[in-house]
Structure 1
Amino acid sequence: MSNSTPRPSPTVRQHETESETESADETTRCPECSGQLITDDEHGETVCRECGLVVESDEIDRGPEWRAFDSAERDSKSRVGAPTTNMMHDKGLSTNIGWQDKDAYGKSLSSNQRQKMQRLRTWNERFRTRDSKERNLKQALGEIDRMASALGLPKAVRETASVIYRRALDEDLLPGRSIEGVATAALYAAARQLNNPRSLDEFAAVSRVEKMEMTRTYRYIVRQLGLEVKPADPEQYVPRFVSRLDLNEEVEREARALLRAAKDAAVTSGKSPVGLAAAAVYAAALLTNQKVTQSQVGEVADISEVTIRNRYKELLELDHGELVQ
């Protein structure tokens, strides 16, 4: 005897096909007049072509939110892939192979697969830095990112510093100067341009070059590239000093008022902005009855107590109240 399952007759198969066709027609037909349904992508609705009945509304629009009228405009507006960035030597356009030896499901790779991935990483790294210029740029941008992280500088400053270094490299300003020196000068200039300055001593603490070389390279880069760098405003240092000393907003307001008065009286001319800001914070803390010592302010601002005392006495002469020495 044969235990095979009997096959459905052609008539049964025909009825099944007809029922599937009818159910499909029901989803594309209007439930009121059996007219044809169309999708209005602009309003996110499914309506009947004949009677105008709205069958579905608030549909999800899975298309782009922009319009394009030719292929070139469509390609320029497309946002497929990661955004480009000046903080990477290849602007982030190359392939990046992760260091984890795991597959997409989180499972560990076999020994043969690990060896294969290591060879791919090696060749990928060689193709990413094909010449000395790219290797130079990669090392410099790594230095900029390292120093910016240590100084707590935002992404905008890092991007600007990367652009400045690229300009210096394109205009052949690096011969005779170290990569670290030009990178430090570019980051210092970018921080000044975006009103987020740091003192030279702070840069010297995280840089791999001496302070003298850094200042010399900075002046050369600014002069050759024609960078517009305004003199640092002492008020730009106040919020950071107040935050590090755990003082309140009242101290910050009073310190800003002292610095504005000193600026109007032309006391700030030729003075270090860091020293003026530290002295203003110290004076403002005393005016608001908050205890802070000159050594604490000097440690935060990375300047000597002598500088704070000298600038503090100059602020005293402006007659801004009875300050306690």
Structure 2
Amino acid sequence: MTAIVAPYPVMSTSPVAKSQDFIPDLNVRLICPECKDPVPNIVEQYSSGDLVCGSCGMVLGDRIIDTRSEWRTFANEEGDDPSRVGAASDPLMDGMEQLDTVISFQDGGSGLARELQRASAKTQAFKDGKTMMEGFKKISQFCDSISLPKVISDTAKQLYKRVEEDRILKGKRMDAIVAACIFIACRQGHVPRTFREICNITKVNKKALGQCYKAMEAYFRLNVSGGATSSTNRVDIHLAGSGSKASAEELIPRFCNHLGLPVSLERSCVQIIVNAREQGVNAGRSPISIAGGAIYFTTHLLGQAKHARDISRVVNVSESTIKLVYKGFVAAKEKLVPKEWLDDGKAKWDRLPIETSK
């Protein structure tokens, strides 16, 4: 039912309306169309969300938003629990996230505060929770610094939690443990990062990172093709593809993206690397060096040359190493480059630089 809007004449005080004695009041007044009382008795029924005339009972409006405080029970268990305050619970903390209790130093000279602080310091759950939260904070900061997706951060946190609970790296630095967890999480999430990259981010030396990774690899039975193979030490997340090294073709998309190379050239680099592996070219070289040499070789071969200095800056390998790997590709170029690339003019031998090292 539509309510009646009644204008009420009021005295004008505006200098613009000096010639008018009265102007209409633009305030909307709700009046019951049945009672037509200038001072209606409007009642809001919170249970049904309706506005009802208290005199005749006519419904003047429905679906009215209740702006009062809500005291419903949202607890999983039965009982009176009207509280809706506090942060969202973290499933990784298992109830340990409530670490806000601080014991005051003021006890009136009784000495009770000191005793309570000692008891609180001895509480293992408090200490574990504090360490866990500090580790989670570091993982989030490191992952955000290199724009890793949230799934990588969550996976690293799950690994860190399992390491802390089982105490398999007792005595190791937290930064080294965090770095190893991020490294494994990146391998599991198919966004591989090299040891050197993780070390540069976390400021952990390669030796400490390698020790933590080896310990986790032995405990969780990590391997390249499968996950955790032990039933007793099985981790709660899938750890497939968590080998110690990322393959060269896995690194190519990210390196080509940083160099501004098209997707077609990226695929060509991957094909060169696969052919080189089948032919045993540059066997034993690190994946980073192979990726850098393949980019240098392919970009020149296909007429989109990139300087070794630019590639070195992206892949974090010296120019001499890139050119040394490049020489291996040049020596076996007849076996690595598909014949159709040469037939359609996509690739040309004369584009390859002759001087590869100084």
Q: What does 1:61-76 correspond to in 2, within 5 Å? A: none
Q: Is the 8 A contact 2:157 2:181 kept in 1?
A: yes
Note closer, same or farther for the CA distance 1:291–1:267 as it changes in structure 2 (3 Å cut). Answer: closer
Q: Is the 8 A contact 2:186 2:192 kept in 1?
A: yes
Structure 1 position 247 matched with structure 2 position 264: no
Structure 1: distance between partners of 2:139 and 2:90:
17
Structure 2: distance between partners of 1:295 and 1:130:
52
Structure 1 position 300 matched with structure 2 position 295: no
Bigger radius of gyration, 1 or 2? Answer: 2
Give unmatched runs, 5+ long, in structure 2.
1-40, 42-52, 62-75, 78-86, 101-119, 228-241, 338-346, 354-358
Q: Is the 8 A contact 2:290 2:325 kept in 1?
A: yes
Structure 2: distance between partners of 1:166 and 1:148:
16
Structure 1 position 213 matched with structure 2 position 208: yes
The one-letter code of the counterpart of 1:324 is: L
Structure 1: distance between partners of 2:250 and 2:89:
31
Q: Percent identity?
A: 22
The equivalent of 2:172 in structure 1 is: 177
Q: Secondary structure at the match of 1:134?
A: helix
The equivalent of 2:232 in structure 1 is: none
Structure 1: distance between partners of 2:164 and 2:221:
15
Structure 1: distance between partners of 2:98 and 2:213:
31
Higher helix share: 1
Structure 1: distance between partners of 2:305 and 2:201:
30
Q: What does 1:78-89 correspond to in 2, within 5 Å? A: 82=88, 84=90, 86=92, 89=93
Q: What does 1:36-115 correspond to in 2, within 5 Å? A: 82=88, 84=90, 86=92, 89=93
The equivalent of 2:196 in structure 1 is: 201
Greater RCO (CA < 8 Å, at least 6 residues apart): 1
Note closer, same or farther for the CA distance 1:281–1:188 as it changes in structure 2 (3 Å cut). Answer: same
Q: What does 1:1-325 correspond to in 2, within 5 Å? A: 19-20=56-57, 23=58, 82=88, 84=90, 86=92, 89=93, 131-227=126-222, 228=227, 229-230=242-243, 231-267=245-281, 269-316=283-330, 317-319=332-334, 320=337, 322=349, 324-325=352-353
The one-letter code of the counterpart of 2:302 is: T
Equivalent residues, number: 227
Structure 2: distance between partners of 1:306 and 1:150:
30
Q: 1:314 deviation in Å?
A: 2.1
Structure 1: distance between partners of 2:147 and 2:275:
30
- Superposed CA offset, 1:58-102 (max 9, x none): xxxxxxxxxxxxx99xxxxxxxx857464xx46896599xxxxxx
Q: Secondary structure at the match of 2:260?
A: coil
Q: Is the 8 A contact 1:168 1:225 kept in 2?
A: no
Note closer, same or farther for the CA distance 1:324–1:318 as it changes in structure 2 (3 Å cut). Answer: closer
Note closer, same or farther for the CA distance 1:273–1:139 as it changes in structure 2 (3 Å cut). Answer: same
Q: Is the 8 A contact 1:83 1:92 kept in 2?
A: no
The one-letter code of the counterpart of 1:156 is: V
TM-score by length of 2: 0.56
Note closer, same or farther for the CA distance 1:186–1:91 as it changes in structure 2 (3 Å cut). Answer: farther
Q: Is the 8 A contact 2:282 2:328 kept in 1?
A: no
What is the CA RMSD across the aligned residues, in angstroms? 3.2
